[in-house]
Amino acid sequence: MTAQIIDGKAFAATVREKVAGHVARLKEEHAITPGLAVVLVGEDPASQVYVRSKGKQTVEVGMNSYEHKLDANTSEKDLLALIDKLNTAPEVHGILVQLPLPGHLNEDLVISSIDPAKDVDGFHISNVGLLGTGQKSMVPCTPLGCLMMLRDYHGSLSGMDAVVIGRSNIVGKPMAQLLLGDSCTVTIAHSRTKDIQDVTRRADIVVAAVGRPEMVTGDWIKPGATVIDVGINRIDAPDKGEGQTRLVGDCHFDSCAEVAGAITPVPGGVGPMTIACLLANTVTACCRANGLSEPEGLTA
């Protein structure tokens, strides 16, 4: 069996098109332009690239982009003051503080200072609690993107057996909650799970988000299962030349693709969906703030 490739790059482009359509309607019918504020503290190269990409895509879909770049030695007091200002700014509907933060800043405190209604990352404890109890919340972008792709491929997920490998607050736990919300039977597997291969092998859906390069191999996968690989790991690639690297997921792609019915590649799978869902969350937050119907197909 050769698995169907779930093209995250193409799907993300479709999501951005939907976002752009909703933004255009908000402008035309309500004279409202959704706004996303991104706060970057320090000069981490990967974070800088990510923030530039977010800003570019925000503008491309017609939204307002507000970027705040602060020095690495910015005090916690000054950062919290900026967030407080953004919380009350009517033109800002979504706030994202780029992580990781410099070591002298308390990430939990910073995240908890964001207005939950503007927390488009979905990391605020209020949103975590709302998601966990099946209520309306802002949903973390990466799990939301995974759910969108699964719904698109399968239609209904009701009754399917799903295993999420990894229990992080950013992906694993919210992914499990979203799958439960779509009536899957969900198991969270992790480093202490006994016979993890057997646990995974029974699943109709496998979401790998453990952060270990190519840990999941084809013999872990039930024939015909859908594999969503969230991992992004850089490993040595001597075949490409001395000192060269390549990106791989948490799944060994070739062996899993021989067994699975469908699989996301790395790169080009889940990754592109994260920013697309950030834009979707910003539109959702804007609609909620203005008492308007939520954008169809862009929320959990």
Please, are residues 40 and 51 in contact by the beta-carbon 8 Å criterion?
A: yes
- 254 catalytic per annotation: no
Sheet containing 94-97, strands listed edge to edge, beginning at the edge strand earlier in sequence: 64-70, 35-41, 94-97
Nearest to 147 by CA among 209, 228, 203: 228
Please, are residues 282 and 94 in contact by the beta-carbon 8 Å criterion?
A: yes
Tell me which of 121, 182, 229, 250 is the catalytic residue: 121
Residue matched to tokens 């972008």: 141
For residue 254, give both structure tokens.
């070739």
- Any idea what the Cα angle at residue 121 is, between residues 127 and 38, rounded to 5°? 135
- 121 catalytic per annotation: yes
Tell me which of 18, 54, 118, 222 is the catalytic residue: 54
CA quadruple 35, 41, 42, 46: dihedral, nearest 10: -50
Q: Are strands 226-229 and 262-263 parallel, antiparallel or unpaired?
A: parallel
- 56 catalytic per annotation: no
β strands within the chain, DSSP E: 4-5, 35-41, 64-70, 94-97, 161-165, 185-189, 205-208, 226-229, 233-236, 245-248, 262-263
Q: What is the DSSP letter of 259?
A: T
For residue 139, give both structure tokens.
């949903």
Tell me which of 98, 173, 177, 222 is the catalytic residue: 98
Q: What is the DSSP letter of 2?
A: -
Q: Which residues are catalytic?
A: 54, 98, 121
